[in-house]
Amino acid sequence: MTNKMTTTLSTLAAGTALCLTGVASAGIEDAKKLIEQYSQLPTFEAPGPAFDAKACMADKKMFVIPLTNANPFNAAISQGFVDAAEVVGFELRDWETQMDPAGWIQGVNTAVAEKFDLIDMQGGLPPEFMVPQITEARAAGLKVTATHNYDATTQSIPDFLDSAANTDYVTVGKIIAAWAIAKTEGKVNALVLGPDEITPTAPLRDAIMGYLKDNCPDCQSKYINVPVNDWATKTQPAVQNALLADPSINYVLPVYDSLSQFIVPAIQIAGSSAKIVSYNGTPFVLDMMRDGDIVEMNVGESLGWVGMAGTDANMRLLCGLEPVTKLNTPAYIFTDENVATAGNPATFNDGYGDVHIEGFKALWGIK
């Protein structure tokens, strides 16, 4: 090899190294800015113009089918719907389900038989399981929607639904990845977990891993699919084996924080120093953060706010107003510094402030 060629290759290598260093530096800076933005207490932004909700809903009623009432996350969103209906003054029924397609189908059939005006499928319930029943419900004159089910930017509302109030899952995923990048100064080796059968998992998973890839050239990530029904039996051994096989893993990033109860023992048994960062603001996970040091950060949102926002979107649909397809529920970061504001024990609604309550009342003409 000639001296000239050697010099050229060395120059190219140096240029590549400088380029990667620049990408890494910019990625770390971007990550820190994102963390700062979502560490601020949420503010209320109206999803649409004000309207007379009480007059519009005087002769209408709403039927809500959650993914499962056994999940406190879904139960809390449903309670937000119930509370909103009481504020406005219309009939709303929260259907009892246990992660059972037969129960979901029975709910749709009940709503049709009892002449409800709208069915809402909330919190990750996959409507694809019930296309024939949904089609029949719509033929009978009911509106069928979904709340907190699809990503606001990367997933389309299926043609067999009338509308959907969607969540910015992509931003949540970016926040999770950004935290790990910022805390390690761009040296992340992450284990990402999620249940592929739940509708929002894909945008959350892809946002986490995509943000790491795009903003952190030295970061690594691996994904493990753990179906919901296998969480209690398969999560701990899967994480434990991964940590033992690769002790350099420094972050475990479950897309839903309820997985943390099975991940913490795996980290402890493996003797790992890995931290958990996740999403949902589930109270028992916030309690784990307050009382321990393995859960490091949690992205939450007020679920009472989610329920009110979903109710708002559904009422606008029933009232013939401009549809709302994105929930106005801001993401909010909990850490050791502010987790005490979530309560002791924590709740799904403490810590976020209550600007949304008066905000929605004003929108709906309620004094």
Spell out the domain ranges in the chain: 25-42+170-300, 53-168+302-329+353-364
Is domain 25-42+170-300 annotated with CATH 3.40.50.2300? Answer: yes
**If DSSP states are collapsed to H, E and C, what string results for 177-246?**
HHHHHHHHCCCCEEEEEECCCCCCHHHHHHHHHHHHHHHCCCCEEEEEECCHHHHHHHHHHHHHHHHHHC
* Residue 281 region by backbone torsions, left for phi larger than 0, else alpha for psi between -120 and 50, else beta: left
Alpha-carbon distance 201 to 194, whole Å? 6
231 Cβ partners below 8 Å, 6+ apart? 195, 258, 259, 262
Burial, 211: exposed, middle or buried (Cβ in 10 Å; 0-12, 13-18, 19+)? buried
Contact, 273 vs 300, CB < 8 A?
A: no
134 touches 120 (CB < 8 A)? no
By the 8 A CB rule, do 190 and 180 touch? Answer: yes
CA distance linking residue 63 with residue 114, whole number of Å: 10
Identify whether 217 is preceded by a cis peptide bond (ω within 30 of 0): no
Q: Is residue 313 a contact partner of residue 46, using CB atoms and an 8 Å limit?
A: no
Asked whether 273 and 250 are in contact (CB, 8 A), the reply is: yes
User: Which parts of the chain fold into alpha helices (H)?
Assistant: 3-37, 53-56, 72-88, 101-113, 131-139, 169-184, 201-215, 231-245, 260-270, 283-291, 303-318, 355-364
Residue 108: strand, helix, or coil: helix
- Report the CATH number of the 53-168+302-329+353-364 domain: 3.40.50.2300
- Residues 6 or more apart whose CB falls under 8 angstroms from that of 14 comprise none
Which residue from 96, 41, 58 is spatially nearest to 318, judged by alpha carbons? 58
Helix/strand/coil for 115 = coil
**Taking the alpha carbons of 170, 175, 181, 182 in that order, is the dihedral positive or negative?**
positive
Note whether 25-42+170-300 and 53-168+302-329+353-364 share their fold. Answer: yes
Whole-angstrom distance between the N-terminal and C-terminal Cα of the chain? 83
Q: What is the pTM of this model?
A: 0.89
Cα–Cα distance list, 211 to 97, 221, 250, 255 (Å):
35, 11, 17, 14
The two beta strands, 295-300 and 332-334, are: antiparallel
According to the model, what pLDDT value does residue 27 have? Answer: 87
Tell me, what DSSP letter sits at residue 97? Answer: -
Taking alpha carbons only, the member of 181, 206, 170 closest to residue 33 is: 181
* pLDDT in the model for residue 100: 87
Instruction: Compute CA distances 299 → 33, 118, 169, 296, whole Å.
Output: 15, 31, 11, 11
Other CB atoms within a 10 A radius of the CB of residue 53 amount to 25
pLDDT in single tens digits along all 367 residues of the chain: 556 555 554 554 444 444 445 657 888 999 999 999 999 999 999 999 999 999 999 999 999 999 988 888 899 999 999 999 999 999 999 999 988 899 999 999 999 999 999 999 998 888 998 999 999 999 999 999 999 999 999 999 999 999 999 999 999 999 999 999 999 999 999 999 999 988 889 999 999 999 999 999 999 999 999 998 899 999 999 999 999 999 999 999 999 999 999 999 999 999 999 999 999 999 999 999 999 999 999 999 999 999 999 999 999 999 999 999 999 999 999 999 999 999 999 999 999 999 999 999 999 999 8
The answer to whether 131 and 101 have CB atoms below 8 angstroms apart is no
Residue 20 has what pLDDT?
Answer: 47
Compute φ and ψ for 343, nearest 5 degrees.
100, 165
